[in-house]
Amino acid sequence: MTDAPPPPSGTSGDGAGGPRRAAVLGSPVAHSLSPAMHRAAYAAMALDGWTYDARDVTETELPAVLAACGPEWAGLSLTMPLKRAVLPLLGELDEVARATGVVNTVTWRGEGAAREALGANTDVEGIAGALSPLLAAAPEHGVVLGGGATGVSAVAALASLGCRRVVALVRSPERAAALREVGARSGVAVALEPFAEAAARTAAADVVVSTAPAGAADALAAEVAAASGGGHRGVLLDVVYDPWPTALAAAWRGPVVDGFEMLVRQAVGQVRLMTGAAPSPDLLREAGRAERRRRAAATPAR
């Protein structure tokens, strides 16, 4: 999946386009580490005057916010609940966004009346990139916990890693048709099962991606640990990174990677789309860690 929109006009790794603006939008969004990582990339690329902020924006507010983004805007990162709400507001989607119906990055192309907003999905890149170093071979059987936008991206990511069978554990199967749809487009057979089946299904999986919000999978942790016997053969990616470890990650008896690594990897793709140059994952990883240390130091001890 490489048919991505080109970088926004007037951008380059040497800052030739002049100062530009970017931001992460969502609600809530104050916790986001994206500003620290994107700003570190701008500094390393000598993009003087570029700014990146966090803005709390709801689905209702999104159309007006997007319409107000003038030519000084290089891009937007989108988090929940905006990854699907933005679709009707865009002129074109990249291949991954079309396949998933999920957008986490907006850039623009053209000028004046011909200027249009472009949607891309770098979450798939982020999930696959976080998992790849821990996989000795292409996984055959995957499990996804959760049926939301990130769950859909997880199915597409598992397909890109070679997975051909996925069990999606969801609370409302009737509302998770998008998981089957992206599976069909990606050549993956997706079976929908109740969330309560997680313990049995994860024990036999080659790779598990939990997209459940913080705390949502805690009640399953003890069952998942008990069902593993001597240990889990598969790799677990839990997209939550704060607090860490989650109860599920702590109970997992096998390789584990947290959502922070996914965040780093998807941010590499976002910076590439917004500036035309890809930063080192190590640079963004260290910037994110430094911001986490800063926040921890600023939090009063209880």
249 and 258 in contact (C-beta within 8 Å)? yes
Reported for 184-189, long-range contacts at CB under 8 A and 24+ positions apart, including other chains, are 185/99, 186/99, 186/155, 186/156, 186/159, 186/160, 187/159, 188/155, 188/158, 188/159, 188/163, 188/164, 189/164, 189/165
105 and 270 in contact (C-beta within 8 Å)? yes
Integer CA distances (angstroms), 70 to 15, 37, 47, 112, 173, in order = 18, 23, 19, 9, 41
In sequence order, what are the beta bridge partners of 108?
A: 117
Residue type present at position 232: H
Give the whole-angstrom CA distance, residue 288 versus residue 285.
5
Give the whole-angstrom CA distance, residue 106 versus residue 104.
7
In sequence order, what are the beta bridge partners of 25?
A: 55, 78
3-state secondary structure of 283: helix
In this structure, the strands spanning 189-194 and 116-120 are: unpaired
Helix (H) or strand (E) holding 170: strand 165-170
Integer CA distances (angstroms), 201 to 105, 144, 169, 228, 234, in order = 32, 10, 9, 10, 11
Residues classed as catalytic: 83
3-state secondary structure of 144: strand
